[in-house]
A = this chain, B = another copy of it.
Amino acid sequence: MQQQRDNIVFVGNKPVMNYVLAVVTQFNNGADEVAIKARGKAISRAVDTAEIALSRFLNGVTKKTISTGTEVIETEDGKTNVSSIEIVLAAPR
């Protein structure tokens, strides 16, 4: 039914509840897992998104994995490194 690998929420600079709603909606539509991703300063908001979604809205859903990394970004001044995070939430079976 649902597409397994398309359940990704990219967190940016909008209010955190926008992203919480996106995560909750994907689980309500039958997703088994949702990956919350962010880079740079939005990383804090990605953690907020996961914490708020789990504590207020998603009964039984758990944090499956949390990973961090470094991505290389092309800017006008050349290449620069930016940190990234991926938090995967999983529905109960």
Q: Which positions in A face B, CB cutoff 8 Å?
A: 40-44, 47-48, 50-51, 55, 63, 66-70, 81, 83-85, 87
Contact = CB atoms under 8 A, between A and B. Distances in A.
Contacts of A41: 41, 44
The 7 closest A-B pairs by CB, nearest first: A43-B44, A66-B66, A47-B83, A51-B70, A51-B83, A48-B83, A44-B44
Copies in the complex: 2
A50 B68 contact: yes
A33 B84 CA distance: 22
A41 B84 CA distance: 14
Residue among A51, A69, A84, A87 with the highest chain B CB neighbour number at 10 A: A51
Given A47-B43, A51-B83, A83-B44, A67 B68 contact: no
